[in-house]
Amino acid sequence: MSGAAQGELVQVERPTEGVAVLRLNRPEARNALSVGLREAAADAVKALGSDGGVSAIVLTGNGSAFSAGVDLKELSAPGGRPRPSSPGADNLVGAIVACPVPVIAAVNGVAVTGGFEVVIACDVIIASTEARFADTHGRVGILPAWGMSQRLPRLVGTARARELSFTGNFLDAATAERWGLVSRVVAPDELVATAVGLATDIASCDRRAVANLKRLYEDGARVTMAEGLRLELERNAEHMAEVRPEDIAARRSAVQARGRAQSAG
């Protein structure tokens, strides 16, 4: 396992083969997303995504919060006028979406506004029982620029998304699971281990197939169902053109053995 030096804005660990854990490391500021933290985290996601030894990334926060959102002290300082984060070097959301390997958000505490946008850009969301989500753009008097208005209604439905954005109210972990925002809710001391376990399952799959699946899900979300089905057929043809029968045969026994083991368990 490796990590960054004390005081660095992000920490990277390699708990098991194929898996990286990326921690936002401004616990004294509840991991508020300063420009520096966004740049460091975006750089780390890009580096891990291009590392052939990494097949899945777990993203979490050090301390009691996942992220309290954009650093409002930085934003409200003289000359701190909000600026869109795309396509600049500090575009963490863009880095997550473009990352060729799945990114799992392990939400350990509050994920507010910009922090919430980072979470919903991830491919899978797992929450601690202490996690809470809120969109306070309206309360701060700003508008989203990292995808909140588009991703949130696709995840929880338009009515619920509008309720969250118009009120700025918090959403607890249990309700987030019931609404389909998060995949599962676990005890705080089980959160990272659960996310790493899921990442390990992902890492045991074919890396190219998972990368193409991620891209297909992301691109398909932007089009109609009919266009998405056509896109799936096109991507299938592209992918299968490079798959050999012997590759499938080599994996077949492993897939069957895993299925038997899971059924027995």
Give yes or no for residue 262 having a pLDDT over 60.
yes
Task: Check: CB of residue 10 under 8 Å from CB of residue 41.
Answer: yes
| DSSP 8-state secondary structure symbol assigned to residue 242 | T
Q: Is the pLDDT of residue 37 over 70?
A: yes
Confidence band of 77 (pLDDT split at 50, 70, 90)? low
Query: Which one has a higher pLDDT value, 86 or 201?
Result: 201
260 forms beta bridges with: none
Q: How confident is the model at residue 83 (pLDDT cuts 50, 70, 90)?
A: low
Rounded to whole angstroms, the Cα distance separating 248 from 250 reads: 5
pLDDT in tens, 138-164: 999 999 999 999 999 999 999 999 999
3-state helix, strand, coil in the chain (%, to 5): 50, 20, 30
Q: Is the pLDDT of residue 183 over 90?
A: yes
pLDDT of residue 162: 98
Q: Can you give the pLDDT at residue 6?
A: 47
Chain position carrying tokens 């995840």 = 155
Percentage of the chain exceeding pLDDT 90: 81
**Structure token pair of residue 113:** 């506004």
| Mean pLDDT rounded to a whole number for the chain | 91
pLDDT tens sequence across 184-197: 999 999 999 999 99
Q: Is the pLDDT reported for residue 4 higher than 80? A: no
* 227-to-16, 41, 82, 123, 247 alpha-carbon distances in Å: 39, 34, 35, 21, 30
Reply yes or no on whether the pLDDT at 76 is more than 80.
no
Q: How far apart are the first and last CA of the chain?
A: 29
**Do 70 and 114 form a contact (C-beta atoms < 8 A)?**
yes
Integer Cα distance of 53 and 163 in angstroms: 42
How is residue 71 written in tokens?
């650093």
Looking at residue 1, its pLDDT comes to 37
Residue 246: per-residue pLDDT: 82
Lookup: tokens for 142: 């700003």
Task: Using pLDDT thresholds of 50, 70 and 90, give the confidence band for residue 252.
Answer: confident
**pLDDT band of 27, cuts 50, 70, 90:** very high
Say how far residue 1 (Cα) sits from the centre of its chain: 21
Q: What are the structural domains, with CATH classification, of the chain?
A: 10-203 (3.90.226.10), 223-264 (no CATH)
2 or 36: which carries more pLDDT confidence?
36
Residue 257 is predicted with a pLDDT of 75
